[in-house]
Structure 1
């Protein structure tokens, strides 16, 4: 692992901010997206978490880190899932004293030029989500089937878990340090795409403030998407099992409180 840069960059009102970018086979996109992020927000550091990409993504990340002290790299030994990569990156960022920890995809679907919208919203929130499905949000180059799958999945999440967030599966986010500490990352077990929904539900359950800001989500134009129908179906299955378990726990807690 490259050492985190330890720069003294600070964002007004928020302190030290780092954006975690997980990668697996993103050699065609990583330099492009990190360059855009550093240009859009020069006071924000970047932590690339690479899951042993066979296409050389890790070597590209190392080169970027060698040229820019605000960029660092965490090399993992295998592909263990999106949630596992983020959890690892979050723990390292917290250990290094960052005040805000962000999430962003490496494929260009999240526009770094819109990160300022999330930063502004975090001034009075504990978690901010760049949302496709709030008024003003949009998607570009998505087939209707993909949009219906995402909208339907998020509706299912809202109904099952009883949470008011319209885009709980989104991956463009900013967490305050205190939010991640209150959630207790050691208790998070989800490692795949369900991780995003899990983190929203835990934040709300902790009594913290979640805000959504509209963003434009752009379908990747280079490389292969990691999302598929099978992945989405598996995520919904896991959300169902997890959600029903949580509901049963809520009922047990309510019953005990009345005794």
Structure 2
């Protein structure tokens, strides 16, 4: 774990309209060029919030960049991991960071600039009536302006399956733009997740639903990454399908996954 103040307790960041202490998490692998722009944007939009980057030993210098930010700004933190261990475990590491430092909420964005920080205030405002707020592409007002039909169809199918297999009522179950109330999310830090990659997004909602979480969706506009290439592939898609089927089957037996 690294950063100028990674081992210090966070300062209180209460402000008018804030739900309490907030940390913004960014799970990164080879996102140097995107984070150059994204971290300052987040700081401008929510100057009271801290930022933690979970870096999977990116060879492009992502970790070094965050160290430079952290050296100048004590509200920026870096957690370095030994290698590319998967998006799901990176998010759990962010949960652990938030839990151990007493944050009230963890707000997660993709590190590739596809989740515009301008929507953060609306997401934080919605925490008043929810335990999990989802930045949603699929509620009225949500948009994905640049996706081809094939990608839209694949995403629609994944989300429909999540609602069918997992009993979720939310429309956008595969996106990562979310704000989690840490009283509930901290209970998942030591859980044994089936998903290691992108299927984590559906599984974490399923587990939080089982804990009684209240969900609210706030419309966002999803934008294409600014730099680099997407890491989603057919292997990840089939892995997500397998996880959802296994979780769906667990609903039919007395004891589900722990």
Question: TM class, shorter-chain normalised?
Answer: over 0.9
Q: TM-score, normalised by structure 1?
A: 0.92
Aligned-CA RMSD value = 1.4
2:145 to 131, 140, 145: 140
2:224 to 213, 219, 222: 219
Aligned to 2:37: 32
2:209 to 204, 208, 214: 204
Aligned to 1:9: 13
- Alpha-carbon offset, residue 145 of structure 1: 0.7
Q: TM-score, normalised by structure 2?
A: 0.92
Aligned to 1:57: 62
- Alpha-carbon offset, residue 193 of structure 1: 1.0
Aligned to 1:86: 91
Q: Does structure 2 retain, via aligned residues, the 8 Å contact 1:31–1:64? A: no
Q: Which structure 2 segments of 5+ residues have no match?
A: none
Alignment of 1:111 with 2:125, yes or no, is no
- Alpha-carbon offset, residue 230 of structure 1: 2.6
Give, in whole Å, the separation in 2 of the partners of 1:10 and 1:225.
35
After superposition, the C-alpha distances for 1:149-204 in whole angstroms (9 at most, x for unaligned) are 001110111111121011111100101121213x4321142321111111111111
Alignment of 1:171 with 2:188, yes or no, is no
Give, in whole Å, the separation in 2 of the partners of 1:71 and 1:215.
25
Give, in whole Å, the separation in 1 of the partners of 2:231 and 2:208.
26
How many pairs align?
249
Q: Does structure 1 retain, via aligned residues, the 8 Å contact 2:18–2:125? A: no
Q: Does structure 1 retain, via aligned residues, the 8 Å contact 2:174–2:199? A: yes
Give, in whole Å, the separation in 1 of the partners of 2:96 and 2:199.
19
Q: Residue 226 of structure 2 aligns to a residue in which SS?
A: coil
Give, in whole Å, the separation in 2 of the partners of 1:141 and 1:25.
23
Q: Does structure 2 retain, via aligned residues, the 8 Å contact 1:154–1:168? A: yes
- Alpha-carbon offset, residue 13 of structure 1: 4.7
Q: Residue 71 of structure 2 aligns to a residue in which SS?
A: helix
Q: Residue 174 of structure 1 aligns to a residue in which SS?
A: strand
1:76 to 81, 85, 97: 81
Most deviating of 66-75 and 225-234: 225-234
Structure 1 stretches of 4+ moved >4 Å: none
1:43 to 40, 45, 48: 48
Q: Which structure 1 segments of 5+ residues have no match?
A: 254-259
Q: Report the structure, 1 or 2, having the larger helix content.
A: 1
Q: Residue 201 of structure 1 aligns to a residue in which SS?
A: helix
Give, in whole Å, the separation in 2 of the partners of 1:164 and 1:146.
22
Alignment of 1:154 with 2:154, yes or no, is no
Give, in whole Å, the separation in 1 of the partners of 2:103 and 2:189.
15
